Every structure is written in C-alpha cells, then in structure tokens.
Structure 1
Amino acid sequence: MVLSAPGVGTHTTTPQRRPTPNSVRLLASLEAMAEVGLQPDGSICRRGFTAEDRQGRERLSEWMIDAGLSLCIDAAGNLIGRLEGSDPSLPALVTGSHLDTVPTGGRYDGTLGVLAGLEVVRALQDAALQLRHPFELIVFADEESTMVGCKGMAGTASADPSDYTTSNGEPIQRNLARLGGDWDRLASAARRDDAIAAFIELHVEQGAVLEGRGDSIGVVQGVVGQRRFTIRVGGQANHAGTTPMDQRQDALVAAAQVVLAVQALALAHPGDPVATVGKFEVWPNAANVVPGEVQCSVDLRDLDPEVLSALTDELQRRLAAIAESSGCRVTMEPQFSVDPTPAAPALMDAIEVAATELGLSHSALPSRASHDAQELGRRWPMGMVFVPSHRGLSHSSAEYTSLEQCVAGTAVLLEAFLRLDAQLQG
C-alpha cells in the first residue's frame, strides 16, 4: 500500500560540510514519540497492532514524509520509507527497528533505532547530499511478540496463522489488516536477494556491559542463538511429616540440583554463554507435602551453534546423573530453537572505523536479545550498533540512555552508511 511518493529529497549539490546529526531535533523526536502510549508510572505501552502502535506509526509517517521519504506499507505490516540514490541500479542501504513495546516499556528500546534512522535522512537532506545507493528506513511490525514484520521481509515467516501468538489474543490476519498489511499476500513482503546491500540497526544495549567497560559504542558481533527446553522432574508426593528423609523421592530437591547444574554449565564453559532457569512450577505446592513433580524452563544462548550443541549435550548428561542419584524421573523436552545470526565482517569494520574516526570508545560484544536484525541478517549483510543502557535496565520506565549517547550512536550509524555507500559496488 503506497502512502505517498513526494518528488523531493534527491539533491546532487556538493555538500558544504559532512552531514551530522542534530541533537536538538533528535531529542524533540524522542520526546514527542514518548508521548504516545505514556503511562502514569513513566513507562510506555504501545503493544503491537494497538491504537497506540498505530498512532506512533502515523506520527512517524508525517515526519518521514516531511524529510522527503516516499512511504509504503508491505503485506507484513512494515512501514517503509525510501530515499532514492543517484545510481538506480544499486541495492538499498537499510536501517530501522520497531516502535511497538512491551506492556511497561521504555522510551528507547526500538524507538531510538527508528528515530536515529530518521535523523540520518534529515542530516543528509540538511547537507544536500544524495547517496549513490537508495536509502530505506523501516519500522518493522510487532517485534515484541510475533516478529511478523522482519520475518515477512526476510521470507522466514510461517504461513500458518496458528503459529502467531499476538499480545492482544486476536488473529494475526485481523491484526495485520489494522496496520495496512495483508495476510493473504504475506509472501509478497519477502524482498529479493538483490534488494538490500546492507542493514544496520542501532539499538540500546539493554544490558550493562558497555557501561561497565566505559565504552560509548558497541560493535555487535551478531545475535545469539537460543535453545529452550522444558525440564520435568517426577518424584513421589508424600506426607511431609511421616516420610523419613532417606525414604523420599523429593522432586523439588532434584529440581534444585537441576537449577544449580544449569548455572554451573554456563560458568564452566569456555567463552561467555548464558543459561537460565526462568520458570519454575511445583506440584502439589503445599507446605506439608513432599513435592511430587516440578516443571521448569531452561534457556541457553550463545553466538556459536557448536557451543549451543555442546551445552545441550552436557545438560543431558548432568540431568541423567541427577536422575540416578535422586531416584526421580528427569526429562528434557525441546520448546524451540533459534539459530544465531552473525554480523557481516564488512559492516562491523565500517561501524568500528566510524566510531574511531568520531573519537568514540568502542568494543565488540554479542547481542543476547533478539532483534529485527536477527531475521534480516539471515538474508543480507547485517550489522548492529549498541549504545549503553544505564544500569543495564530495559523494558521498564527506568530505561535510560543519555542524549549524548543517543547522538553518538546516530553519528556512528550515519558515518558507517557514508562509508558503505562509497565502498559497496552492489
């Protein structure tokens, strides 16, 4: 669905200065977008497909048109703004992120990447500079729940509507229509292999690594893969007072050993994987009953698929040992598996050089949270720029990245694209 196609924004005049982000304008955009879905506690609620989500997209659409972008919405509900380049044969340089949030979201998660991309366009227009490549800014649909937007564009989206668990509980078909998408034409959202030259997403780190290191910029090595399992521990429920300690099959005691084994698994492995037991259910969960059954989740994450396989194999061995020593039944059932997506070396280099030339301290790190870039990177060269999150807090009203840090990330994004525009040949 085409929204507009203004005939502005393609200047060939030699710029008088290197384009730079306007900090006042970026701050104004961040504050204006934070008004949409603002809650009494200071958090932001723009769940995917809601009226607030649509309001945010409409507000951004006005800004994009004013910046000279032509707009369309694809079948996956992605809002796409495009600035033509001087060479129509070249594929696009692309940036973007999402505007939807979790129920108590912050004002930077996703939003900064979108508004930084808009500021890149505005800075290019200020400098009257037309890139060789077309430039696109994308707002991906429903990143926080279904990721239907980025998966649709990458061609990895499921064609089965029952595979989508939406935050409002309504069918994905109806939700996509609210954004201007079209479920019946979802396959048409998949871009051609030669449509995109490079995709770079700017995002707040959502962790405390950069702040701890004292670095301004994170050069993301890739988005980690995930292996998630359900662990079931079966013992024998019995009277807590009359069952001697040496005659118990206590499922909770065995499950506690599972939790410690998962922690030890990650700590002992070379590198820096993470392993988490995040969900824990006990039956019958009564003060005077020896627990008879426990169910818990295990989440394993790393950038290397071989590490994930090794962690899984070692976990199975440890569970077998716990079952033997406790006398309980211990089973592990896969929930889902997501492969890692490495960043493209050329894009990492462009980001690192950009940060260096701008005098910004930087270091490499993986992204342990999923992002739209994870799906785009399965098809096209992908890079990510991280900026620090104060105290590592995210998905809450306490989420904070300073204006100086936001501007620094935007400047790196802009400089990296300028370098790629000059270097890439299609």
Structure 2
Amino acid sequence: MHDAATAAGLDAWLENAVGELSGFSDSDRPGWTREVFSEPYRASRAWTAGQMRKAGLEVHQDAAGNLVGRLPGTNPAAPALVTGSHTDTVDGGGRFDGVVGVLGALGAVQLLAERGMKLQRDLLVVDFLGEESNPFGLSCLGSRALAGELTAADLERTDYRGRSLAAAYETFGIDPAALLSAAPWTGERRPHAYVELHIEQGPVLEERGLPLGIVTAITGIERLVASFTGSPDHAGTRPMADRRDAMVAAAEAVLAVRQEGCGAPQHGVSTVTRLENASPAPNVVPSLVRLHGEVRSVDETWLAGTRSRLAAEIAGRAAAHGVEADLSWSTDNTVVRAADSVQDLAAQAADAAGIPWAPIPSGATHDAVHMARLAPMGMIFVPSAGGRSHCPEEFTSTSQITTGVHVLADTLVRLDTAHLAPATS
C-alpha cells in the first residue's frame, strides 16, 4: 500500500482544494453551479491556474480555451503524457465530477515530486474547457477542439437567447476563428497516452465494495427528437374517443423509450429528458408536442438497432391515437473502447499497491472520448456514494480520491516508459 504519511498529506491537500474550488459557484442556482462561460467558471479557472503553478507546472491557456500545466520531462522531444479532466459543472451539480480528475492530476504531480521521480516525457495536466452539456447542445468543447472535431457549423449553434457559440467564446476571451485551425495535438504532436481519473457517477463500485474501477469502454449516445402532430380541439367539448391528442402519443413514447432501456441485454439506459407542448393554452387538446431523449450503451450491436426499434414502436403507438410521429436522431458519440495497453498498466499499478479493482464500463461520456482519437486512452474510476452524480448530493470521500491519485501516479510512471500502439481513430 502507499505510504501512510504521504497519503495523510495528500488527503489534507485534496480536502482543502476541493473545498476552495467549490467556493466558485453561482449563488443564484442550487447545489454547486459553475457552468461554462459563466463568471464563476472564469474565476475558478484563474484559481486552478494558480494551483497548477504552485505544483511547479508551466501554465498556459491554449487556443481551444483549455488550461494546460506542463511538467517538463528529461526528453521534451518525446510525445507527452496527458492527464486531467474538467472543472465546469451542470446546473445544480456537485463538487466532484471532473474536479477529481483535475485536482487528482495535481496530486499525482505532488506525489512524483515527493518521491523524487522524474519522467522522461513531459506531463501535461489539462483542465478541459466546457465538458458538460450546455445550452448550445455540444459537450466536451475543449477536448473536441483538440481532436479537430469542432466545426464551423458548431460555432453557429445558438442557445435559448439566440446567442451563438462563437459569440460565447468571444465573450470569454477565446478567438472562435482560431478554434477551427487550432488542433495542436494532431500529427506528430499527438500525445503518447491519455489517462483520466474520475468519479464513477454510478453505484457499481460501492455496491461491490471496491475502491477502484478500470474503465473498459465509454458509452455511445444516440439522441432523439420526436415531434407528435395531432389535432387542436377544445378540451372541454371534444369527446375523449374522438381526439388526436399529441400529448397522449408523447406519453406513450416516454414509456416506449423507457422500455427500450429496460430491455437491453447488458449495459443500456434510455431517458426522456424533456417534453414541449407548442400550445400553452390550458383548454386546448395538444396538437404539437416535441420529445427529447437519449439512449446509451457500450453494446454497439444493441445500440445500432435502437433507432429502428424505437421508430417502429413510437410510430405504432402514435398511430393508435391518430397522431403522426416524426423522429430525428443524432449521434453524440459512438462507443469508445479504452486501450488495452492503458487498462493493463493501470491494473498493474493497482495490483502493485494491493488495491482491489474491477473492470467497468462508463455510462457517462468524458473528455477521454475525444482524446482517444489522439492517443491510447484509459480511465480510472473511484466510487460515488449512492451512485449519485450531477446533483448536490454527489460525494466521494477524500480517502477514496487519494487511492485513485496513487494509482494514477503509478500508471503515469508505467506509461512513461511503455511502448504503446498509436491511436487508430
């Protein structure tokens, strides 16, 4: 196991750092709210940059808006190791999602310094810009840009106020024109490997009594918008049997989406996140209702069939109520497998420290999805109390984070000298 004195010092630092970073929050919103492009987020990143410098890192903000701290290696010409996560939150979120990966990476840097260990490769600690979902409908902004996946069409996306994503970048001090040509880690500058420490955001590790998970794959996400068109009628006079009620058809679709997730052969979940009635009048039978939902799984075969299965089921149920259903789909990301080599080295690090672990899929998406296009990718999970996440009750104990930091540090050491196959995407 890791040295008790070192662990105690790391515990104290992490406890204090999580507390300080949590102080940057929108006081008008519930929980800990630090959304991308907000003023609390801007202030928190100045604090994070200061913590990077205190850890001995050379700090800059890249063209994509990512905060990057560099720990020079003995051979700076060698492809760098990369670790980190994000510090933005969802509205009403918690204190640990993403934060554990950024502060944990700084904790790993401290452990390397205390042990007098010098990596041959540069180590880059990254606080990626805007990983969480946002009003523009595009997550993982910073890592997406690094991977060259941010497009001109993406910059034209608008929020509910009609403001474009490009305008949001400009207000935050980031040149949107530079984003499309910035992908600084492509070509010969691709990293050697990427590994991310994160809370599980689910109940598996806690239920199994395990302190660590090594991620096998990150879920694919299919997003759905369904429009239901019926007939507007007076809600007080149109007989029940003679209605074309779009809301009833949408309600049937909610159950169909749930049924799809419940029928998955292994890992699979499905969620309706929003229903919108085009008419606000309380005495009109709904004639146009839109449904927003998603389906997630690490099972590519099952996920590939979800569009056709749900299309048939939703259309059939809607037709029974005399309602037309029109479905449109988008792929947020495909299933991404963690590199076997990174999984193996993380497992070796855990085994060497005597820390029990289990292979585990990730049902949430992460910056690791986009970094996998650039380098062999892996993730290390620590438990989430009650499996709660994206809510104020989100909690992971400091000792659990410390365990993850020790395994992260040892994994980085092992990756530093490992011969890895390059990313294939």
Q: Shorter-chain-normalised TM-score: which range?
A: 0.7 to 0.9
Deviation string for 1:380-402 (max 9, x for gaps)?
A: 21111111121222233322110
**Residue among 185, 191, 194 paired with 2:185:** 191
Moved more, 386-395 or 75-84: 386-395
For 2:86, the aligned partner's letter is H
| Residue 79 to residue 241, structure 1, CA distance change in 2 (3 Å) | closer
Summarize the Cα distance change of 1:415–1:282 in structure 2 as closer, same or farther, 3 Å threshold.
same
> Aligned-pair distance for 1:305?
3.5
Aligned residue pairs, count: 411
**Map of 1:336-347 to 2, 5 A cutoff?**
336-347=331-342
Alignment partners' CA distance in 2, 1:265 and 1:332: 15
For 2:148, the equivalent position in structure 1 comes to: 155
Tell me the CA shift for residue 105 of structure 1: 2.7
Contact kept, 8 Å, 1:73 with 1:180, in 2: the verdict is: no
Give the TM-score, by structure 2 length. Answer: 0.87
Report the counterpart of residue 8 of structure 1 in structure 2: none
Shift, 1:137, TM fit = 0.3
Instruction: Specify which of 297, 303, 314 is matched with residue 308 of structure 1.
Output: 303
Please give the secondary structure, in 1, of the residue aligned with 2:96. Answer: coil
Instruction: Work out the CA distance in 1 between the residues paired with 2:316 and 2:309.
Output: 11
Are the equivalent residues in 1 in contact too, given 2:155–2:176 (CA < 8 A)? Answer: no
* Per-residue Cα deviation, 1:266-298 (whole angstroms, up to 9, x for no partner): 222322211112211345466655443332123
Alignment of 1:329-408 (within 5 A): 329-408=324-403
Q: C-alpha separation between the residues in 2 aligned to 1:58 and 1:40?
A: 21
1:251 aligns with 2:246: yes
In structure 2, the CA distance between the partners of 1:298 and 1:184, relative to structure 1 (3 Å rule), is closer
Q: 1:335 deviation in Å?
A: 4.8
Q: Calculate percent identity across the aligned residue pairs.
A: 35
Query: In the alignment, what sits opposite 1:230?
Result: 225
How much is the aligned-residue C-alpha RMSD, in angstroms?
A: 2.9
Output the CA distance in 2 between the equivalents of 1:64 and 1:70.
8
- Residue 204 of structure 1 pairs with residue 199 of structure 2: yes
Gaps in structure 2 of 5+ consecutive residues: none
Taking the TM superposition and a 5 Å limit, the aligned residue runs for 1:52-201 are: 52-144=40-132, 145=134, 146=138, 147-160=140-153, 162-165=155-158, 172-173=165-166, 175-176=168-169, 181-186=174-179, 187-194=181-188, 195-201=190-196
Provide the rounded CA distance (Å) in 1 between the counterparts of 2:223 and 2:279. Answer: 25
Give the direction of change, closer, same or farther, for the CA distance of 1:68–1:389 in structure 2 (3 Å limit).
Answer: same
Q: CA 1:178/1:415 → structure 2, altered by over 3 Å: closer, same or farther?
A: farther
| SS state at 1:132 partner | coil
SS at match of 1:326: coil
Equivalent residue, structure 2, for 1:293: 288
- Cα pair 1:73 1:181 within 8 Å, conserved: no
The alpha-carbon deviation at position 96 of structure 1 amounts to 0.7
| Cα displacement string for residues 103-147 of structure 1 (whole angstroms, at most 9, x for unaligned residues) | 333221111111111111111111111012221101111222353
Structure 2 residue 418 is the aligned partner of structure 1 residue 423 = yes
Aligned-pair CA distance for 1:240 = 4.5
The 1:249/1:347 distance shift into structure 2, 3 A limit, reads same
Gaps of 5+ in 1: 1-15
